Amino acid sequence: MSVVINEVSDRILTVTINRPDKLNALNPEVMEGLAAAFESARGDEAVGAVILTGAGEKAFIAGADVTIFRTFTPVSARAFARKGQALLDTIETLGKPVIAAVNGFALGGGCEVALACTLRVASKTARLGQPEVNLGIIPGYGGSQRLPRLVGKGRALEMLLTGDMVSADEAWRIGLVNRVVEPAELLPASREILKKILAKAPVAIRCVLDAVNAGLDMPFAVAEDHEATLFGLCVATDDMKEGVSAFLEKRPAKFTGK
């Protein structure tokens, strides 16, 4: 039985971590399956967007397989963290929108995976947190960096220092998730968001993702220059001409990605 299931429909790839009996905890096999799925999605023209979720109703990803921690040395632990960071960087910089459909516990590495996604849609039953301090460690997959960038330094430090979980509604209040929906609506709501995005100009979508993701790590003046360059690239596309013409002619645009 595959621990990562991939299904494509209407240009949306749904990636499901399939270890419900282990609350979809991350282990080397899951990490390898996710890496393969996202690397394949990057170059697949049939895939315009991705939904990442967990099997069952209890967990998105309940964290890492903690038993491996007993075997770590400082060197092997750093390598473990860097390998996970590389995977999450791949998700974040895919060039295509990725929604984390959070269907239950998203803790530790699971919360970090959700943070690397473009958007997060949570079931009302979801619980999110970075409880690493309870194990005497800190996040290793970028959580200490992405969380404050998303919710602000103060709220991030409270979560990181207490190790407390937050409810779906609290996660929405602090900006950790974009929407909270009934459990039965989690995947349909995620698909509706992606369908709306996929109806827009593909080059512009890629450029928005690039402008935001790259710009957050640049000095403001450099980020503005990067934005201006991407704006210039968009102006050279057929999609820009079509979008402007459709707007002026009061009709829906028909974008081609060129």
Superfamily of domain 4-198: 2-enoyl-CoA Hydratase; Chain A, domain 1 (3.90.226.10)
Q: Which structure tokens are listed for 40?
A: 């394949």
Q: State the fold for domain 202-248.
A: Lyase 2-enoyl-coa Hydratase; Chain  A, domain 2 (1.10.12)
Give the three-state DSSP class for 117.
coil
- The per-residue pLDDT for range 1-54, each reduced to its tens digit, is 799 999 999 999 999 999 999 999 999 999 999 999 999 999 999 999 999 999
Catalytic residues: 112, 132
Question: What's the pLDDT score for residue 141?
Answer: 97
| Per-domain residue ranges of the chain | 4-198, 202-248
> pLDDT tens across 143-155, in order?
999 999 999 999 9
Q: pLDDT exceeding 70 applies to what percent of the chain?
A: 100
Question: SS3 for 175-206, per residue?
Answer: CCCCEEECHHHHHHHHHHHHHHHHCCCHHHHH
